[in-house]
Amino acid sequence: MYSTSGKAVRMNRLFNPDDGKAVCVAADHGWMSDPTANVVNLKNILGQVIAGGADGVLMSFGSAQRLGHMFQGKDKPAVIVRADWMNLPRLGGANVSNVLPVINFRKMATSRAKDALQMGASAITIYYFIGYSDEFEAINIEQASIFAQECRKVGLPLIIEPMAVGGMVTGVNIAEILIASARIATEIGADALKIPYTGDVITFKELVDRSRIPVLVLGGAKSDVPRDALELVDEALRAGASGTVFGRNVTKAKDPKKMVEDLCDLVHGVKTIDQIFSPVEKGKKRRLRGISANCVGCLICETVCVQAHSVSFGVNRARLRIESKPVEEKPPLNKVNVCILCEACIKVCEPNALTLSEEGYIQLDESLCIQCGKCGEVCPNSVVLFDDDGYPIICDLCEGDPQCVRWCKYDALKLV
């Protein structure tokens, strides 16, 4: 409940009123660190972010002024203005990756709530650094309190971003610090939080439960694998988060629009992670391809195959087979045998127990199977096995997300 209707109205502009969730994109990096490609191409990237359906975009005051016209329209994302500045990304003499490193950590209030409101913003965001020093935290609290008072006066939501940074922050106490700082931010007057993930669902749930206001989880550093970034969001949502603020994982993505679409699907409950990353689509037949030249024979593929299907470890029931050849033979030393979806097993199956699903993987109807074993006999790669009762064990592409492909770090398995 808010003391002014302005806050309630603007919170509804940012958080989808149907589900109370929001996907926001942070595009304020140029305000605090080097002008990397995502900063230089901001206009183009924002175009893609808007097309992807983001609920909010965080920008500096200057960017909001220059690019605000892109946000006109009911279907466009809400504008969030970054109301402070800091030099953390450039901090430290050893930080040679920056053009101009700095020695002293500084944070300055740079815009007022009133300025952001004039800009048509639906919220402002400010940092709350905790763990660097008592003095620095006090300055942060003082600034946050002033912003909170201003925001109350003009009816603008205040998003506080607690960041555990400094010599007193360790791997041991970081979750505890984030949990405490989230509640402290609420007590000061935050209307929502933008906060890093604590690392696990249990502590993040504690953070959400104790803060009592909407929590947006940060995407964090650029992840090499998009799925990893989305899994973090998925965990945070399970802990009760109200959405996410993704920065570099969107603005530096190969396809920012697709990344935002995926985030929106996940956060607004349209698709699960598995559905988002399901490489097998209806009507589009895809199959595994083994690249023996890349295989080092680690057998992780066989192990995860068994684990994915029977919740046990071992390789004897794997639906693919790594064949090691004697060293005196010509390379490659390992031959990757996988189901190539030749459908020979389906064709030979008289009772039609084996069929091809709409999604394009082989499925077995045990009630029809007569355990004749013919499917195994015709398999050209000998990757059809049989369980103790004589039923065939055949690759089902893990129902769309083959674990062997996901786990093979040598690119010896691909979905083609």
- Per the DSSP assignment, residues forming a β-bridge with 160 are 126, 193
Q: Which of 95, 97, 149, 352 binds other proteins (CB under 8 A)?
A: 149
Asked whether position 176 contacts other proteins by CB under 8 A, the answer is yes
Asked whether position 212 contacts other proteins by CB under 8 A, the answer is yes
Are 179 and 204 a contacting pair, CB within 8 Å? no
Q: Which of 66, 114, 210, 285 binds other proteins (CB under 8 A)?
A: 210
Q: Where are the beta strands (DSSP E) in 45-157?
A: 56-60, 78-82, 84-86, 107-109, 123-130
Are 400 and 278 a contacting pair, CB within 8 Å? yes
Least spacing, CB of residue 204 vs other proteins, in Å: 14
Closer of 134 and 224 to other proteins (Cβ): 134
Asked whether position 13 contacts other proteins by CB under 8 A, the answer is no
What is the rounded CA–CA span in Å between residue 178 and residue 241?
14
What is the rounded CA–CA span in Å between residue 267 and residue 24?
11
Of the candidate spans 43-51, 89-97, 209-217, 247-255, the one that interacts with other proteins by CB under 8 A turns out to be 209-217
Q: What is the DSSP letter of 120?
A: T
Number of residues written out for the chain: 416
Least spacing, CB of residue 133 vs other proteins, in Å: 8
Are 234 and 275 a contacting pair, CB within 8 Å? no
Q: Which of 45, 130, 263, 364 binds other proteins (CB under 8 A)?
A: 130
Closer of 212 and 238 to other proteins (Cβ): 212
Asked whether position 134 contacts other proteins by CB under 8 A, the answer is yes
Closer of 66 and 106 to other proteins (Cβ): 106
Q: In this structure, what are the phi and psi dihedrals at residue 225, rounded to the nearest 5 degrees? A: -115, 115
CA atoms within 13 A on the CB side of 201: 8
Asked whether position 213 contacts other proteins by CB under 8 A, the answer is yes
What is the rounded CA–CA span in Å between residue 245 and residue 250?
10
Least spacing, CB of residue 186 vs other proteins, in Å: 5
Asked whether position 135 contacts other proteins by CB under 8 A, the answer is yes
In the chain, DSSP finds a helix count (H) and a strand count (E) of: 16, 18
Q: Which of 39, 70, 168, 340 binds other proteins (CB under 8 A)?
A: 168
Asked whether position 182 contacts other proteins by CB under 8 A, the answer is yes
Q: Which residues bind other proteins (CB under 8 A)?
A: 1-3, 130-131, 133-135, 137-138, 141-142, 144-145, 148-149, 152-153, 168, 173, 176-177, 179-190, 209-210, 212-213
